[in-house]
Chains A and B, each alone.
Chain A
Amino acid sequence: EAGVTQFPSHSVIEKGQTVTLRCDPISGHDNLYWYRRVMGKEIKFLLHFVKESKQDESGMPNNRFLAERTGGTYSTLKVQPAELEDSGVYFCASSQAWTTEQFFGPGTRLTVL
């Protein structure tokens, strides 16, 4: 069984540019989550999809972040325009149910210069 995949693995952009991160969850997992870890700090929740619907987006920092999950399969997270404080590792995770283990992808390391 393939795990959660994320693309790209690294992205270096300049302040003000746009970046789109992609996540492919484990097949059959309706629940998809985005998290972010800023250097030295805890892993912070961004949002939770159930199929194509946003169940909880209370962790999205501001309206520069836009997440989509068209058709309930893969998800994208767009940051536009990027700011310096957006740098960090963005993890995607998926799970079968809300209360079961979450399978994390390898993460996308975003650096905003």
Chain B
Amino acid sequence: GQQVMQIPQYQHVQEGEDFTTYCNSSTTLSNIQWYKQRPGGHPVFLIQLVKSGEVKKQKRLTFQFGEAKKNSSLHITATQTTDVGTYFCAGQNRGSTLGRLYFGRGTQLTVWP
């Protein structure tokens, strides 16, 4: 069945370093969403990418959607301690299961001050 792979599972960086997490789907997606979950919290929506090759920026965060709409990445420039948490990608398909999100396993980011 549908799978969304996400790497790395863990990333430890020093404050100020960059961070990237990668997501790859076994099938072509309708769109991909990114969520952040702080320790002890719940997933919070960050952004949605819909178009092939789309790139979106939110301050220090850059999100990309691949040309084939099967992969995506999130890059954080100059990490801060407030960036700590688990970052999930989640894809949606076309068709009757459109609402369903297929989550990657998440990348747990730790930032040392």
Contacts and interface: CB of A to CB of B under 8 A. Distances in A.
A56 interface: yes
Given A99-B30, A99-B92, A99-B98, A104 B43 contact: yes
Interface residues of B, number: 25
**What is the interface of chain A mostly: helix, strand, loop, or mixed?**
strand
B103 A44 contact: yes
A91 B103 CA distance: 13
A103 B101 CA distance: 12
A43 B100 contact: no
8 contacts: A42-B103, A43-B103, A43-B106, A45-B101, A48-B99, A56-B99, A91-B42, A99-B30
Interface of A: 31, 33, 35, 41-45, 48, 50, 55-56, 58-59, 91, 93, 95, 98-107
